[in-house]
Structure 1
Amino acid sequence: MTNQRKIIHIDMDCFFAAVEMRDNPSLASLPLAIGGSRSSRGVIATCNYPARAFGVRSAMPTGQALKLCPQLHLMAGNMDKYKTVSRQIRAVFQRYSDVIEPLSLDEAFLDVTDSSHFAGSATRIAEDIRRVILAETGLTASAGVAPNKFLAKIASDENKPNGLFVITPADVAAFMATLPLAKIPGVGSKTAERLAKLGLRQCKDIAGCDLALLVKHFGAMADSLIKRSQGIDERPVRVERHAKSVGVEHTLATDIAAYQDCVNALSVLWPKLQMRLANQGNQGLHKIGVKLKFSDFRQTTVECQSNSVSLEQFMPLLQQAWQRRQQQGVRLVGLQLGFNSPNPGQLSLPF
């Protein structure tokens, strides 16, 4: 009989901003954001909690952030410094488990199912990881403990910042019953609205829903909705390997009908892709691509070969993808990169 899986998701609190506040405590009381500038277009990579109180959020266009918070303190950021701190945090993880799946510089999954630390208590392991990170880096982390990755990631957001939330196997059914469907990855605001029109707002509502109705309205997504609404996630924690590709995508709150809006949405994804790439190390870039999903759930990807990448290089690909919409709106945008083999050269990507 296999052991019940014990998964921890660690998520650093406003990581880039937290590093800057640690190094300059006078910034702690100011609304602070990393990314963009007052004199040029850009997007917010992350922001601290005083800035979030004004409605500023990660991936928000800098101009919009400044309208919400005119006194926002903007910093360009220092990726080399953030990478150094990320390596410190990764070293802490390795004291507790060899089964680690980094998601970005500031978050990772750990499988501690077979760990002997603290008599195998995942909760106590997560508590100690947070304690050690704070002691050695001066930064706080939030953690989620659960039987699978999906639940652990949701749990880590429950008591942010600097919190811990545990979902035991016995708790799963009750926790999932009242969980809003909008919290399931892939369910954006628009999909949540469509679900609500069918009377589906919480995960428990899916259980009593006719499968044919779900398939009719949500196609291939119906299977994922059913599994996630029951707290089912069979994906293993994958030990870090050189990725063949990386990508970021976003399901939009409302479908886009104007090309410039699509350009803006793609631009917002750019800093997220930069963060993903910062965690990959030196790899040879082979191709870049743009993905669009339309209102009728068709999707298309346009790619081209390239050994370097910048935001401007995605624009011709976006134009080609946009022309395939057949008068439909766009409900999802994504950026993709494909790699050759490990370490043949340094990827050229400015921060």
Structure 2
Amino acid sequence: MPQLRSLFLDMNSYFASAEQQLNPALRGKPVAVVPSLTDATCCIAVSYEARPFGVRTGTNVGQARRMCPGLQLVEGRHENYITLHHQIIKAVETVLPVDEVCSIDEMHCRLSPQHREVEAARGLAAEVKRVIAEQVGPYLRCSIGLAPNHFLGKVASNMQKPNGLVVITRDDLPNRLYQLELDDLPGIGRNMLRRLQKCGIRTMQQLCSLSRKEMREAWKSVVGEQYWLMLRGDQYSSRETTRRTVGHSHVLPPKLRTDGGAYAVLVRLLHKAAARLRTMGFLTSRMAITIKYVGEMPNWTVKPYVGQVQDTPTLLNHLNRQWSQRPPGGRPLQAAITLLDLKPAGQISLPLFEEDRRPCRATEAMDLVNEKLGLNALYFASMHDTREAAPMRIAFTNIPDVQAEMSRPVDS
């Protein structure tokens, strides 16, 4: 009897479904969740009712409104999605333990020995769907993949949406995969797809027929061998990746598309990024500052070296220095701050002079106050007029805790 080891859960069109769950007036209607109510930005989630019109995640909002005249635009309320995310995990764990939270809308569970046969695993998956509907909400549908490993579980969860339940056993391999396109596999993006096509690999059947050595040669790394194993239902241990950047960006609302507005948003973004940097225990040595403009004016991007730091005032000094040297002209459209070349604080040698070793007292005080009262209870005066700009965003692989992140009138 074929054995299954992985239950992979993928919430369907999560942000849009969350809005429909929270607001009955949106149910059954085409919905797009957007970062701000402007045609210049893109949809970050769309409901299944909007998809027959061709609206997808990433579609320009102005274009989406033309494609789907009845489209309901909802500005993202990320604190609500985080709250529902934790409620979903709690519900799932009444059925089986969650082994890994992969993103805001995905999680992986290992099947216990008594649930590895197909019918037992199917029953467990049906129970997971039931408890999410009953304990969190019936409009939060999910697709579940059951497979011999985590990788194929994710593949299976994408094969039937919405509200799907797909089983892939070892006996199904590799034939069950032949219906897929190469880029249906996790990790095969545009560049990797081109590389495979240059090697003459254009179908899933061709990929699955490669030897382990040929797979490694196609990827030009050991990753190819990992794919060879995963496609056959085997397990493998992946090395944990090292975080290299922390950053935030924000499309400016019309009233902030000025030099002063763009600068204030940059300060806010830097405040958020530096606070995250300290929370994670990293130092940064380089900062990328970017302004995108309306029209044809080229983007402005600089990447100054900032030493090995994590305190906000030092980073603000570097921002001010670069801002004073930026080229004149243009109407700002988007602002972004990214802290680069991160290293764990414990791996960095102390500065030679004692005064440089002291942590910034202002930063320490801000962190202590914000830890107790909310992330932005205390903030820099230069970002006062942009308190409602650059609201909470969810990096799909980094789900914050609402209580730690949220504070009104300023959010994270």
Aligned pairs for 1:1-351 within 5 A: 6-39=5-38, 41-66=40-65, 68-114=67-113, 121-136=120-135, 137-138=137-138, 139-209=140-210, 218-220=219-221, 221-235=223-237, 245=243, 283-284=279-280, 286=282, 306=310, 312-314=336-338, 350-351=391-392
Does the Cα contact within 8 Å between 1:36 and 1:62 map onto a contact in 2? no
Amino acid at match of 2:160: N
User: Could you say if the C-alpha distance between residues 11 and 208 of structure 1 is closer, same or farther in structure 2, counting changes exceeding 3 Å?
Assistant: closer
Instruction: Report the Cα distance in structure 2 between the residues aligned to 1:169 and 1:213, rounded to whole angstroms.
Output: 22
Number of corresponding residues: 284
Instruction: Report the Cα distance in structure 2 between the residues aligned to 1:118 and 1:184, rounded to whole angstroms.
Output: 25
Does the Cα contact within 8 Å between 1:204 and 1:229 map onto a contact in 2? no
Does the Cα contact within 8 Å between 2:92 and 2:131 map onto a contact in 1? no
TM-score normalised by the chain length of structure 2: 0.56
Alpha-carbon distance, 1:233 to partner:
4.1
Alpha-carbon distance, 1:97 to partner:
2.6
TM-score normalised by the chain length of structure 1: 0.65
Alpha-carbon distance, 1:64 to partner:
4.7
The secondary structure found in structure 2 opposite 1:187 is: coil
Cross-structure match for 1:254: none
Alpha-carbon distance, 1:93 to partner:
1.8
Instruction: Report the Cα distance in structure 2 between the residues aligned to 1:120 and 1:339, rounded to whole angstroms.
Output: 46
Alpha-carbon distance, 1:152 to partner:
0.5
Does the Cα contact within 8 Å between 2:31 and 2:49 map onto a contact in 1? yes
Alpha-carbon distance, 1:108 to partner:
0.4
Instruction: Report the Cα distance in structure 2 between the residues aligned to 1:117 and 1:223, rounded to whole angstroms.
Output: 26
User: Could you say if the C-alpha distance between residues 26 and 103 of structure 1 is closer, same or farther in structure 2, counting changes exceeding 3 Å?
Assistant: same
Instruction: Report the Cα distance in structure 2 between the residues aligned to 1:228 and 1:290, rounded to whole angstroms.
Output: 38
> CA offsets, 1:179-203, max 9 Å, x none?
4322222212343344345442233
The secondary structure found in structure 2 opposite 1:312 is: strand
Q: Which has the higher strand share?
A: 1
Instruction: Report the Cα distance in structure 1 between the residues aligned to 2:117 and 2:170, rounded to whole angstroms.
Output: 19
Instruction: Report the Cα distance in structure 2 between the residues aligned to 1:196 and 1:227, rounded to whole angstroms.
Output: 21
Does the Cα contact within 8 Å between 2:4 and 2:116 map onto a contact in 1? no
Gaps of 5+ in 2: 247-272, 289-302, 316-333, 347-366, 377-389, 393-412
User: Could you say if the C-alpha distance between residues 92 and 118 of structure 1 is closer, same or farther in structure 2, counting changes exceeding 3 Å?
Assistant: farther
Once the two structures are overlaid, the 10-residue window that deviates more, 98-107 or 304-313, is 304-313
Cross-structure match for 1:263: none
User: Could you say if the C-alpha distance between residues 182 and 100 of structure 1 is closer, same or farther in structure 2, counting changes exceeding 3 Å?
Assistant: same
Instruction: Report the Cα distance in structure 1 between the residues aligned to 2:156 and 2:30, rounded to whole angstroms.
Output: 26
Alpha-carbon distance, 1:96 to partner:
2.6
> CA offsets, 1:82-132, max 9 Å, x none?
222112111112123335211222220011224679999222111100011
User: Could you say if the C-alpha distance between residues 166 and 19 of structure 1 is closer, same or farther in structure 2, counting changes exceeding 3 Å?
Assistant: same
Q: % of aligned pairs identical?
A: 27
Structure whose CA Rg is larger: 2
The secondary structure found in structure 1 opposite 2:102 is: strand
Gaps of 5+ in 1: 249-276, 292-300, 318-335
Instruction: Report the Cα distance in structure 1 between the residues aligned to 2:46 and 2:105, rounded to whole angstroms.
Output: 14
Once the two structures are overlaid, the 10-residue window that deviates more, 84-93 or 70-79, is 70-79
Instruction: Report the Cα distance in structure 1 between the residues aligned to 2:87 and 2:36, rounded to whole angstroms.
Output: 29
